[in-house]
Amino acid sequence: MSRVMTRIRALLPRLRTRTGDDSGQVTAFVVILTVALVGFAGLVLDAGMALSAKVQALDAAQAAARAGAQQLNLTEYREHNIAELDPPRAQAAAQGWLSSAGLDGTVTATTETVTVTVRRTTRTQLLQLVGVSTLTVSATATATAIQGVNGTGP
């Protein structure tokens, strides 16, 4: 058995000169694999946090739009029994809801609908290592005033 080992050790230098010295190849592979793994973990973690922020933004946009859709034009409703929004009041109510929640967004209102868009910015955890420090998400919701429980709507 030792004779075989001696023979292998004698052939090893000749084999290295033919194939080239590969010392250090594993180190480069491990570095590249580690960077890829940290990048993938960053995408998973930070994308999950961005998705959570988007869901929260959507919840806030829906609530603000509902607050605005409650602002009916009472004159139209009393005189003609038509559920129509008062756009300035609806816009102010939705914007007031956003302000009270400490959120940034835009509100547009017509006589039929209130549309709210909320923007949120989240700080990244692992993606900061590759230069991405924040992710911005937005969500839009629209509410419509309808008349009665089974009222007709657009």
Q: Model confidence over 96-149: pLDDT tens digits?
A: 999 999 998 999 999 999 999 999 999 998 888 778 899 999 999 999 988 766
Who contacts 34 (Cβ-Cβ below 8 Å, separation ≥6)? none
The burial class, CB within 10 Å (0-12 / 13-18 / 19+), for 126 is: middle
- Counting the structural domains of the chain, the total is 1
Single-letter code of the amino acid located at 90? A
Structure tokens at 31: 């570095």
Report the sign of the C-alpha dihedral through residues 32, 33, 38, 39, in that order.
positive
Q: Residue 129: inside a domain, yes or no?
A: yes
Q: Residue 121: inside a domain, yes or no?
A: yes
pLDDT at position 25 over 80? no
- Alpha helices by DSSP H, 2-144: 2-19, 25-69, 74-80, 87-101
Q: Residue 14: inside a domain, yes or no?
A: no
pTM comes to: 0.71
pLDDT at 51: 94
Find the domain containing 49 and state its range: 28-144
pLDDT at 83: 83
Q: Residue 2: inside a domain, yes or no?
A: no
Average pLDDT of the chain, as a whole number: 86
